[in-house]
Amino acid sequence: LTPPKLCAGTAVSATITAMSKLTTETYVQGVLAGDRVMLARAITLVESNAPHHFEQAQAVLQQLLPHTGNAIRVGITGVPGAGKSTLIETLGLKLTQMGHKVAVLAVDPTSAISGGSILGDKTRMEQLTREEKAFVRPSPTGGVLGGVARKTRESLLVCEAAGYDVILVETVGTGQSEITVRSMVDFFLLLLVPGAGDELQGIKKGVVEIADAILINKADGENKIRAEAARTEYNRALHYLTPATKGWRTRAYTGSALDGTGIDKIWELIESFREKTAASGALQTRREAQMAAWLHTVIEEQLKRAFYEDTAVQAALPELETAVRQGTLPPTAAALKLLQIHQK
């Protein structure tokens, strides 16, 4: 008899069942030993929405925390078609050849709705995925961006504990994801393509302001001249902007992820950034501020969840919402009533 084929849901269920049998100590020791299978399972635990997994995940993270913080955390964003995946793969392969251990994570707020990059990242970075010193993890599904962000932050810590010394976090999708990734990395790289203005590229001025470097990618062949012109233009504009990191001047560079030109320069830049900010204390200050902000974000998320899961609130909400819609009750008064119901 041939065994029945497992559908994706069955495979996930099997993984969850296997996870339920693992002790906190097994996860911790496996991750610290650099066991890739255990690393993947620990991240699956961290990403799980099941309440009993949440508690164990926090226990695992608490034990791993003293072993984190030794990696350089790099965020990479850019417009669709800017070549992020090619850049990450080219840079990742270069770094593994130099002896680094590289982890690639993604923040994709759309993944909950569309299935997002569940398979996308791995199929786009085939060579890097096969590399022994690299770990490529597709974006977690988490509904709201906040949920995805928490899971990515915690996955980042697990990867650091497993000995990965370079963490690359890619933004997928647009909107708030750039700000979210900026809030969890040390260095933020913005990828643009030559020959298109800000408006055409869909890049908001705010994204340029949070970048530590801009790379005009695809600066090869006929694009070289246009890329140089774009670099000059951006450097002129950057001169008037407040740097994203104290004591560091943001500049634009040209390169090609396809043929590898300029990629060495980007890595030298990241190393120089780490050296300078570590010496000045700016790196430590940023990380401490990020952890404190993360604490408050989680408090807000948990309070919001507790509020909407309250059965008394659920019972009162429809009537009060109708009153607000019809203009018979101010929104603030309705909100305060609901909060009073929740606090009883």
Q: Cβ(215)–Cβ(255) under 8 Å?
A: yes
Clarify whether residues 134 and 194 are in a common domain: yes
User: Residue-wise over 193-219: b if at least 16 C-beta within 10 A, else e?
Assistant: bbbbeeeebebeeebbebbbbbbbbbb
Q: Which of these, 191, 183, 158, lies nearest to 71 by C-alpha position?
A: 158
Average pLDDT in the 112-136 region? 70
DSSP strand pairing (213-216 vs 187-192): parallel
**Rounded Cα gap, residues 300 and 294, in angstroms:** 10
Residue 8: pLDDT band by 50, 70, 90 thresholds? very low
pLDDT of residue 18: 59
Choose between 179 and 147: higher pLDDT: 179
Q: Which residues are paired to 268 by β-bridges?
A: none
Q: Are both 234 and 122 inside the same structural domain? A: yes
What is the pTM assigned to this prediction?
0.85
Average pLDDT, the chain: 85
How far is C-alpha 314 from the chain's CA centre? 33
Q: Over 50: is that where the pLDDT of 117 sits? A: no
Do 4 and 120 lie in a common domain? no
Indicate whether 285 belongs to any domain. no
Which range among 64-68, 202-206, 207-211, 305-309 shows the weakest confidence by mean pLDDT?
Answer: 202-206
Which pair of tokens denotes residue 340? 């009073």
Asked if residue 271 belongs to a domain, the reply is yes
Instruction: Please tell me whether residues 13 and 73 are part of one structural domain.
Output: no
Pair (256, 334) in one structural domain? no
235-286 pLDDT, tens per residue? 888 888 888 998 899 999 999 988 888 899 999 999 999 999 999 999 999 9
* Cβ count within 10 A of residue 111: 22
Q: What CATH number should be reported for the domain holding residue 55? A: 1.20.5.170
CA-only gyration radius of the chain, Å: 22
Helix (H) or strand (E) holding 135: strand 134-136
Confirm if 116 and 172 have CB atoms less than 8 A apart.
yes
Domain count, the chain: 3
Mean pLDDT score, 93-117: 77
pLDDT band at 177 (very low <50, low <70, confident <90, very high): confident
User: Is residue 287 assigned to a domain?
Assistant: no
pLDDT tens digits, one per residue of 31-67: 999 999 999 999 999 988 888 899 999 999 999 999 9
Regarding whether 96 and 240 lie in a shared domain, the answer is: yes
Percent of the chain clearing pLDDT 90 (strictly above): 56
Average pLDDT rounded to a whole number, residues 59-79: 94
Do residues 337 and 235 share a domain?
Answer: no
User: Does residue 103 surpass a pLDDT of 60?
Assistant: yes
What average pLDDT does range 61-74 have in this prediction?
96
Give pLDDT tens digits for 127-157. 898 999 999 987 665 555 556 778 889 999 9
Residue 78 forms part of a structural domain: yes
Q: How confident is the model at residue 173 (pLDDT cuts 50, 70, 90)?
A: low
Instruction: Please give the residue range of the domain that contains residue 339.
Output: 293-343
Q: Does 297 share its domain with 232?
A: no
Q: What is the pLDDT of residue 5?
A: 44
Give kind and range of the element (H or E) at residue 187.
Answer: strand 187-192
Q: Specify whether the CB–CB gap between 45 and 64 falls below 8 A.
A: no
27: pLDDT confidence band, cut at 50, 70 and 90?
very high
